[in-house]
Amino acid sequence: MFEDYIPFFIQLAIASGLSLTLLKGGELLGPSRPNRIKIMPYESGMDPVGSARQRYSIKFYLVAMIFIVFDVEIVFLYPWAISFQDFLAAGVGLEVLGIVIVFIVILAIGLIYDIKKGGLEFD
Amino acid sequence: MAGQILFFALAVTAIAAGVGVVWSRSPINSALWLILNLFCIAGLYLTLNAQFIAVIQILVYAGAIMVLFLFVIMLLNLSEMPSVTRFTIARLFGFFLVMGVLALLTYAVAAGLDVLPERIVPAAAAVSGSPSTLARSLFTEYALPFEIIGILLLAATVGAVIIAKRKPV
């Protein structure tokens, strides 16, 4: 029931409230005397060169896409893992295991394809 | 009672974060506001007793999809947008007026067509929103659609590799 989650929301409120209060309190109470050298981005003691905004290669995006696909796969496995004992008790444990194995094999084909095509390599 | 307070707190924060997405001039700030918005919506799911969807909302949307959004922002190398037109009381008043009229019209049309959502009893929602209930129908009754989801994900993987690994012509 929803009432079970009230302690969770209270903890969330305390945790975020405490961290925000500490950050803001430090900013308000502490002395602040910025100068140009102090607010400069730290780049190993050198003066910063160029902009921090750079274009990234599409390869990173490919890895992120593949990550999402397998993330969604794992999401579908959570409910199965939770009610595995229920399925066994209902006598359909093996059938459901078969369904899940077919699902994993379908996605494993994608993983093998990625590896063969070199989708997970950086060159 | 606590549920209603929580609903309004989360709903108002979600709307404020949504306004923040549109209002902020740096794409990275927009993305951060969107994360707050997604978290609030996950909280709303929790108040509706849909625990599984709430956790998935945080794991997949606030986690993985946001990473993709950040990649797109960095890929396109977006910089700060020019600042929005000045904010005046008349514009604010007009905004709330238009939103109010829109909400009223939507409600009237929905009530006229009889498509208003039915009130859900929390006890029924608690039964239907839990992961074990979901698993019971997903892996038995809807096993074929579940495998089709697998094929859809396979197509997404293969498509991503084909598009990103294409040899420049």
Residue type, A14: I
A37 and A70 in a single domain? The answer is no
| Closest alpha carbon to A5 in B42, B35, B16, B17 | B42
Determine, yes or no, domain membership for B35.
yes
The DSSP output letter for A88 is H
**C-alpha B167 chain-centroid distance:** 36
Domains held by chain B: number: 1
pLDDT at B126: 63
Residue type, B115: V
Burial class of residue B29 in the structure, from the number of CB atoms within 10 Å of its CB (0-12 exposed, 13-18 middle, 19+ buried): middle
State the CB neighbour count (10 A cutoff) for residue B20.
16
Region A44-57 average pLDDT:
74
Quote the percentage of chain A above a pLDDT of 70. 95
- Asked if A79 lies within 8 A of B71 by C-beta distance, the reply is no
Q: Mean pLDDT across chain A, nearest whole number?
A: 85
Q: Mean pLDDT across chain B, nearest whole number?
A: 84
Q: For residues A18 and A11, what is the distance between their CA atoms, to the nearest angstrom?
A: 10
pLDDT at B14: 94
Determine, yes or no, domain membership for A95.
yes
Determine, yes or no, domain membership for B51.
yes
A63 and A107 in a single domain? The answer is yes
A24 and A65 in a single domain? The answer is no
Helices B66-76 and A58-82 pack at an angle, to 10 degrees, of 180
Domains held by chain A: number: 2
The residue range of the domain holding B16 is 1-84
- Asked if B158 lies within 8 A of A110 by C-beta distance, the reply is yes
| Closest alpha carbon to A57 in B157, B165, B65 | B165
Q: Å from A31 to nearest chain B CA?
A: 27
In chain A, residues with a C-beta closer than 8 Å to the C-beta of B2 are 3, 6
CA distances from A79 to A49, A82, B54 (A): 50, 5, 14
Determine, yes or no, domain membership for B138.
no
Q: Is 80 exceeded by the pLDDT of residue A74?
A: yes
Quote the percentage of chain B above a pLDDT of 90. 24
Determine, yes or no, domain membership for B137.
no
A28 and A66 in a single domain? The answer is no
The residue range of the domain holding A92 is 58-116
Query: Which residue of A56, A59, A68 is in closest CB contact with B74?
Result: A56
Rg (CA), chain B: 21
Q: Return the residue of B nearest to A121 by Cα.
A: B165
In chain A, residues with a C-beta closer than 8 Å to the C-beta of B57 are none
Task: Please tell me which residue, B148 or B82, carries the higher pLDDT value.
Answer: B148
> Do residues A18 and A10 lie in contact, with contact meaning Cβ atoms separated by under 8 Å?
no
Q: Is 80 exceeded by the pLDDT of residue A123?
A: no
pLDDT digits (tens, 9 = 90+) for B38-59: 999 998 888 887 888 888 899 8
Instruction: Provide the CATH number for the domain around residue B17.
Output: 1.20.120.1200
CA distances from A52 to B33, B54, B78 (A): 21, 35, 12
Determine, yes or no, domain membership for B23.
yes
Region A86-109 average pLDDT:
90
Determine, yes or no, domain membership for B165.
no
Predicted confidence band of residue A59 (pLDDT cuts 50, 70, 90): confident
In chain A, residues with a C-beta closer than 8 Å to the C-beta of B64 are 64, 67-68, 71
First to last CA, chain B: 64
pLDDT at B49: 78
Q: For residues B124 and B49, what is the distance between their CA atoms, to the nearest angstrom?
A: 9
DSSP states along B14-77 = HHHHHHHHHH-SSHHHHHHHHHHHHHHHHHHHHHTT-HHHHHHIIIIIIIIIHHHHHHHHHHHT
Determine, yes or no, domain membership for B116.
no
pLDDT digits (tens, 9 = 90+) for B142-165: 889 999 999 999 998 898 888 877
Query: Which residue of A56, A75, A102 is in closest CB contact with B56?
Result: A75
Determine, yes or no, domain membership for B20.
yes
